[in-house]
Amino acid sequence: MPKKPSLAAAPLHYRVEVADLHAHLFRVTLTIPRPDAQQDLTLPVWIPGSYMVREFSKNLQKLRARQGARTPGIQQLDKCSWRVLCASDAPLLLEYEVYAFDHSVRTAWLDASRGFFNCTSLCLRVEGQTGQPHELELVPPTARTGWQAATGLAPHKVRANGFGRYRAADYDELADSPVEMGKFWQGEFRAGGIAHRFIVAGAAPSFDGQRLLDDTRRICEAQIRFWHGGPGKRLASRPPHRNYLFMLNAVDEGYGGLEHRNSTALICGRRDLPRSGVTSQPEGYGTLLGLISHEYFHTWNVKRLRPVEFASYDYTRENHTELLWFFEGFTSYYDDV
Ligand SMILES: [Zn+2]
């Protein structure tokens, strides 16, 4: 039988590659298959989970547009919005660079040893199409062999090293799925029937990965039972995530994490990682497990259980809620429990 032509619309496509490792620049090429005439684009000013306005657009530069042989003009409307003076009759290509040199879990980083980004820093929102499928293409840097990539997004056409094409149902899912790239340690376990993957960048050779996996698995099992437990061993309901990715960056000095729907980005001090061949683990390891527990608990408390103000995020300004005491307070109480 002849193949039916696909009725599914071509997704918005973001190609992310390294423009210059040493200048900390990502290059992004955004293809909009069916743009509006005069297409508006915005970049978020904040990232959900870290509620301060951070003006990610300050790191975006060299924005250019192409439409076939035409080069439509671009008007900047305000600090985070642009209007492309294009037609609606052909795919629109946007190309720009993003400066990535913030060591936090909130924005983006790129140097010779590692890359990391949230799509709130790298991916312009295509106004009028944010509910459409979005595709993220990760291109490995030519100068760095042996780099791998990881994200919580669903793989579409992905190579064994993790580079390739991923799909998101809409912009919210894209924005909620950070990406790690570089050379990292990785391990896997199952908890509550769910596949969990743990990647660690920057670990020392003495790092005891199996210990971290075993302890994290116990935390995940306890939390899945907390939210979904029934009588006996069976779960009373299904957890909201089908898989989960922990992304930990071990550094000289640092601590923090940001929760996402099926992943989390974490930073810890290298000295706080568990070590092989020692009788007692570093004091900071308990704190690290508390951080892991905290961000994982957010998979339910704030990522699914959330106030009406967060039902639909406005990425262009502050989103006020009076319930942060509940999200952060309850989560902080239960992370140590
Ligand atoms: Zn929190």
Question: What is the band of 13 on the pLDDT scale with cuts at 50, 70, 90?
Answer: very high
| Å from CA of 325 to ligand 1 middle | 10
Q: Who has greater pLDDT, 120 or 5?
A: 120
Looking at residue 261, what is its pLDDT? 97
- pLDDT at position 75 over 90: yes
| 0.85 surpassed by pTM | yes
Q: 306 is written with which tokens?
A: 């959330």
CB neighbourhood size of 113 (10 A): 13
| Å from CA of 190 to ligand 1 middle | 24
Strands 81-84 and 39-42: antiparallel
| Å from CA of 321 to ligand 1 middle | 15
| Å from CA of 277 to ligand 1 middle | 33
Looking at residue 8, what is its pLDDT? 55
Question: What is the band of 283 on the pLDDT scale with cuts at 50, 70, 90?
Answer: very high
Q: What is the mean pLDDT of residues 152-178?
A: 98
* Gap between the Cα atoms of 288 and 109, Å rounded: 22
Looking at residue 33, what is its pLDDT? 98
Cα-Cα-Cα-Cα dihedral sign, residues 17, 20, 21, 26 = negative
Q: pLDDT (tens digit, 9 = 90+) per residue, 294-322?
A: 999 999 999 999 888 888 899 999 898 89
Q: pLDDT (tens digit, 9 = 90+) per residue, 97-110?
A: 999 999 999 999 99
* Gap between the Cα atoms of 31 and 45, Å rounded: 22
| Å from CA of 47 to ligand 1 middle | 13
Cβ contacts of residue 45 below 8 Å, gap of 6+? 53, 54, 55, 56, 57, 79, 80, 315, 316, 317
Looking at residue 276, what is its pLDDT? 95
Q: Which helix (H) or strand (E) holds 109?
A: strand 108-110
User: 228, 234 in Cβ contact below 8 A?
Assistant: no
Nearest to 55 by CA among 43, 67, 66: 43
* Gap between the Cα atoms of 63 and 92, Å rounded: 13
Q: What is the mean pLDDT of residues 11-28?
A: 97
Q: Across-strand partners of 143?
A: none
* Gap between the Cα atoms of 319 and 328, Å rounded: 16
| Å from CA of 171 to ligand 1 middle | 22
What residues does each domain of the chain span?
12-182, 185-336
| Å from CA of 332 to ligand 1 middle | 7
| Å from CA of 327 to ligand 1 middle | 7
Long-range CB contacts for residues 320-327, cutoff 8 Å, separation at least 24: 324/51, 326/301, 327/298, 327/301, 327/302
| Å from CA of 290 to ligand 1 middle | 11
Cβ contacts of residue 1 below 8 Å, gap of 6+? none
Buried b (16+ CB within 10 A) or exposed e, 178-210: bbbbbebbbbebebbebebbbbbbbbeeebbbe
Residue 335 DSSP code = H
Q: pLDDT (tens digit, 9 = 90+) per residue, 170-182?
A: 999 999 999 999 9
| Å from CA of 323 to ligand 1 middle | 12
| Å from CA of 183 to ligand 1 middle | 28
| Å from CA of 223 to ligand 1 middle | 15
- pLDDT at position 2 over 70: no
Q: Across-strand partners of 189?
A: 196
Mean of pLDDT over the chain: 95
- pLDDT at position 4 over 50: no
Q: pLDDT (tens digit, 9 = 90+) per residue, 255-265?
A: 999 999 999 99
Cβ contacts of residue 242 below 8 Å, gap of 6+? 194, 195, 262
Looking at residue 282, what is its pLDDT? 94
Q: pLDDT (tens digit, 9 = 90+) per residue, 102-137?
A: 999 999 999 999 999 999 999 999 999 999 999 999
| Å from CA of 308 to ligand 1 middle | 18
| Å from CA of 48 to ligand 1 middle | 11
Q: Which CATH superfamily is domain 185-336 in?
A: Neutral Protease Domain 2 (1.10.390.10)
Nearest to 26 by CA among 94, 92, 101: 101
Q: 327 is written with which tokens?
A: 């999200």
- pLDDT at position 6 over 70: no
Looking at CATH, the fold of the domain delimited by 12-182 is given as Immunoglobulin-like (2.60.40)
| Å from CA of 300 to ligand 1 middle | 11
Looking at residue 310, what is its pLDDT? 87
* Gap between the Cα atoms of 186 and 138, Å rounded: 19
User: How remote is the C-alpha of 209 from its chain's centroid?
Assistant: 23
